[in-house]
Amino acid sequence: MRLRCSLYLFLLLTAFPAGAAQDKVAVVVYGQDEVASRYQRVAQTRFEQLLADNGVVVLDQDKAEELKDTWGRLSDPGALITAEDFVENAGKYEISGIYRIYLSAGKAVGLAATFTATASADIRFVDAEAQVKAAASAPMGTKGMPPSDGLTESAALNNAIQRAVDHSAGKIGMQVMDVTHPRLVRLTLKQVEMLSEDAAAVPATPALGMASEWAGYARLQADDWTSEEPTCVRASPDGRMGVVGTYLMRTSFNFGRPTRAYASYLHVVDADTRGEVERFEVSVKDPRYQRGGSRITDCLFLRSWRYVAAVSQSHLIFADTERGVELGRHYFSEPFDKPALAHLHGKTDDFLSVTEGARRALFQIVRE
C-alpha cells in the first residue's frame, strides 16, 4: 500500500512540476509615440498585475527587457512570428508565450489648469506554437469613452494608460478584477469682476448659417402646434462635432384659448453618424429665475468638442458633451437682447465673456 502511494505521488509530481514553464509568460511594451515611450513601464506594470490576478507567472522585467532588446522583430506589430523564431529567441527564458503591447498616448492642457489624456493599447499574444490572439482598446475621446483628466500631466496619462490596458485585457478574455475607471475633473462657473492679466481671446470656429448641413443633423421638434428653429450653429475645432442652438415655440389650448410657451435647446451632433448624440434643455421656464427671453443668441465649443457653452437673452450654460452633464448655469439679473459669447484663456485660467455693446458679464471656469 505504501509503495502504491509513493508511486502515485511520484507520477503526480512528474506530471505537474512546481513552476512549470507553460505557466510563465513575458510582457514587452513598445511605445508608438514620444509620450507613450515615456510611460511604457506604466502599461507593463499594470498588465503584469492583471496576469498575476489571473494566476499567470510573469518573467521579471529585466529579463523581459533583455528579450525585447535581442529579438528586434517583436517591435513590428505585423511581423510573422513562427514556432522556430520563438524557440530560437525565447527558448532560454523557459516561457510559454509573449504578450506584446503596442502603446499610444496623447495629452493636452484642459480647462482651468487641468490636463487631459488619451491612450490606446494593442495587445498581441504569441505562444510557443506560434498561435496568436490580439485585441485593441477602443479610442478615447469619443462618446462613451472619455479622456482621462488630472491635475497633473502624469496623473492624467497614468489613468488613461491603465484604462486602455484594462480594456484590451478584458477583450482578450482576462478577468479584470479591479477595473480602472476614468478620472474626471468636474468644472463649473463662477462670476467674476475682472479677467486675469494674461487672458486673451481664443478664436472660435466661424458661426454657420441656419441652413447649414450641421443643423440638419439635429432632431428638432415639429408638429401642428410646435416649431423649433436653429438660432446658432458652429462646428467643433476638429470638425468632428457640431452644436445647434435652437428656439422653440409651443402652442397649447386652455378652454379654447391659445397659450404659447417658449424654450431653447442645445443639440450636439456628430459628423460621422450625421445624427444627434446629446441634447441639453437651455431654458427653464420659471419666472422666479428667468428674467428675459429664451432665444439662444450664441454658442461655441471650448478647445475641443468635449465642452460647450451657450448664451440666451436670460442666462448662460456650460456643459460636458461627452458625459451629457450640465456643469454650470447663470441667470442674468437684467436680460440681454442679442448677447455674444467668447472664450478667453490665461496661463492658468479660463473665462467665458458675455457681451452686448458696452455691457459685459465675466465668468471663470473653475474646478469644483
Contact indicator for 318, 352 with CB cutoff of 8 Å = yes
What's this model's pTM, rounded to 2 decimal places? 0.81
Q: Where are the domains of the chain?
A: 19-184, 188-367
Q: What is the pLDDT of residue 19?
A: 37
SS3 179: coil
Between CA 326 and CA 314 the distance in angstroms is: 17
Distances (CA, A) of 104 to 46, 79, 223, 247: 15, 19, 48, 43
Helical spans, DSSP H, in the chain: 2-15, 34-38, 40-53, 61-70, 83-90, 153-172, 213-217
Second CATH level (architecture) for the domain 19-184: 3-Layer(aba) Sandwich (3.40)
Q: What is the pLDDT of residue 287?
A: 62
User: Within a 13 Å sphere around the CA of 190, how many CA atoms are in the beta-carbon half?
Assistant: 12
Q: What is the pLDDT of residue 255?
A: 67
| Identity at 78, one-letter amino acid code | G
Q: What is the pLDDT of residue 286?
A: 62
Q: What is the pLDDT of residue 209?
A: 93
Q: What is the pLDDT of residue 289?
A: 67
Q: What is the pLDDT of residue 80?
A: 85
Q: What is the pLDDT of residue 2?
A: 47
How confident is the prediction along the chain (368 residues), in pLDDT tens digits per residue? 444 444 433 433 343 343 334 479 999 999 999 999 999 999 999 999 999 999 999 999 999 999 999 999 899 988 888 899 889 888 888 899 999 999 999 999 889 999 999 999 999 999 988 888 999 999 888 777 889 999 999 999 999 999 999 999 999 999 999 999 999 899 999 999 999 989 999 999 999 999 999 999 999 988 878 889 999 999 999 898 999 999 988 877 776 677 777 889 999 999 889 999 999 988 866 666 677 788 899 999 998 888 999 999 999 999 999 888 999 999 998 999 999 999 999 989 999 999 999 999 999 999 98
Positions of E strands within the chain: 24-31, 57-58, 97-109, 115-127, 132-136, 148-150, 187-192, 200-201, 222-223, 226-235, 241-254, 257-270, 275-281, 296-301, 307-312, 315-320, 325-331, 340-345, 350-356, 359-367
